[in-house]
Amino acid sequence: MNDTIRSIATIMKDLDNILLFPHINMDGDALGSCTALCLALRQLGKHAYVMINEPVPKNLDFLECGCTTDDDSVLSDVQLSLMVDCNGMNRIAGRENAWNRGRLKGCIDHHATKAKEIRYDFSRIEPKSAAAGEIAYNIIRAMGAEITLDIANCIFAAITTDTGNFQHSNTTSRSHEIAGHLYKIEGFNSKVISALIYDRRSKEAIKLESEVIAGLDFYAGGKLAVGKVTQKLLKENGCTMDEADGIIQKIMSIEGVEGGCLFKETEQNVRASLRGRTYANMAKAASVFGGGGHVLAAGCTFTDMDLEQAEKALIPVLIETVSSPENK
């Protein structure tokens, strides 16, 4: 049962020391929502931090706003640990100690599955919200905090990244209504934020993308496109894996491609990012290998196979997935 925005705002306004938890592999929505909430709480005189245990991705560095810490002993008496844009201990792996310090546990998220292992004192899960940033925005407003330029930037980053710049089908009237409000904040300029997020790709990353695209393999009459980011390719271009972000979207922009797969060969394992265009159920395909996600955006990890073995295992499943329109 969802708690109301108003009741969550009321609880949070009563607390002084709060830790916010974005999910592992933080993205613009997870970090932007956490930082927006953190800045609003501080504005209201509270102590708040965004607890992380991995580096902030370079293109999201402007969302840090002095809010993040990896010190799990920060604050002397943590009254609330709040998961944001996630739900479940595996989504905050490595930060269990900090999480457990919160006397209250809360969760705001827009992913449908609710973790069973946690007894939240309050939670709000809105699967129809395009971004956790929409929920964060409403809580900030309900707490009576001012939407400052920094908060506006964080909320815009959260919503624009999770909606694919207002293009994906998760976008709603409300996503646009909230964005419309942000433009009324003095100094707000979407282009500035957008350029920080999207237009700081290194020459090397751009070249890496070009090479992955040039090396695409097509199957099922062009319905399935498969790319590979190998360790070799990363080393040759002097790139790290996070610089491969965006390649899967590129693959999906090719006419006729119903399913896209990007293999990422890390030093520990092989990951596959999977995307469907219209009917291909990629969550189902990923689940064959213990992965999951949304129907049109899913992923799985191969821990006991090398890249070649992972390809041999996954590609036939994907060919079947894109070849069966009834596979919805």
Q: Which of 104/196 has CB closer to its own copies?
A: 196
User: Can you read off the two tokens belonging to residue 14?
Assistant: 């009563």
Stretch that binds its own copies, among 17-25, 79-87, 119-127, 188-196 (CB under 8 A): 188-196
Minimum Å distance from CB 153 to its own copies?
Answer: 13
Stretch that binds its own copies, among 47-55, 67-75, 99-107, 168-176 (CB under 8 A): 168-176
Q: Which of 117/255 has CB closer to its own copies?
A: 255
42 binds its own copies (CB under 8 A): no
Quote the Cα angle for 159-93-113, to 5°.
Answer: 55
Which of 244, 240, 238, 239 is closest to 215 using CA atoms?
Answer: 244
1 binds its own copies (CB under 8 A): no
Question: What one-character DSSP code corresponds to residue 185?
Answer: S
261 binds its own copies (CB under 8 A): no
Burial (CB < 10 A; 0-12, 13-18, 19+), residue 235, is exposed
294 binds its own copies (CB under 8 A): no
What type of residue is 148?
Answer: T
Q: Which of 91/228 has CB closer to its own copies?
A: 228
Close Cβ partners of 328 (under 8 Å, ≥ 6 residues apart): 279, 281, 295
Alpha carbons 249 and 241: distance in angstroms, whole number = 15
The residue from 65, 67, 226, 252 that contacts its own copies (CB under 8 A) is: 252
Minimum Å distance from CB 326 to its own copies?
Answer: 20
Contact assessment for residue 262 and residue 251, using Cβ atoms and an 8 Å cutoff: yes
The residues in 201-230 that bind its own copies, with binding defined as CB under 8 A, are 201-203, 206-207, 209-211, 213-214, 216, 218, 222
Decide: helix, strand or coil at residue 154. Answer: helix
Minimum Å distance from CB 298 to its own copies?
Answer: 17
User: Can you read off the two tokens belonging to residue 202?
Assistant: 């290194």
Minimum Å distance from CB 76 to its own copies?
Answer: 41
Q: Other CB atoms closer than 10 Å to residue 90's CB: what's the count?
A: 11
Which of 107, 103, 78 is closest to 92 using CA atoms?
Answer: 107
Alpha carbons 180 and 175: distance in angstroms, whole number = 9
The residue from 103, 114, 168, 312 that contacts its own copies (CB under 8 A) is: 168
176 binds its own copies (CB under 8 A): yes
User: Can you read off the two tokens belonging to residue 249?
Assistant: 């979207």
The residue from 45, 77, 116, 253 that contacts its own copies (CB under 8 A) is: 253
Stretch that binds its own copies, among 3-11, 38-46, 142-150, 161-169 (CB under 8 A): 161-169
What character string, x for contact with its own copies (CB under 8 A) and - otherwise, covers 121-160?
---------------------------------------x
Alpha carbons 223 and 308: distance in angstroms, whole number = 21
Contact assessment for residue 134 and residue 178, using Cβ atoms and an 8 Å cutoff: yes
181 binds its own copies (CB under 8 A): yes
Alpha carbon dihedral 89, 161, 5, 145, in 10-degree steps, equals 110
179 binds its own copies (CB under 8 A): yes
Instruction: Point out which residues bind its own copies (CB under 8 A).
Output: 160, 164-169, 171-177, 179-181, 183-184, 189-192, 194-195, 198-203, 206-207, 209-211, 213-214, 216, 218, 222, 250, 252-255, 277
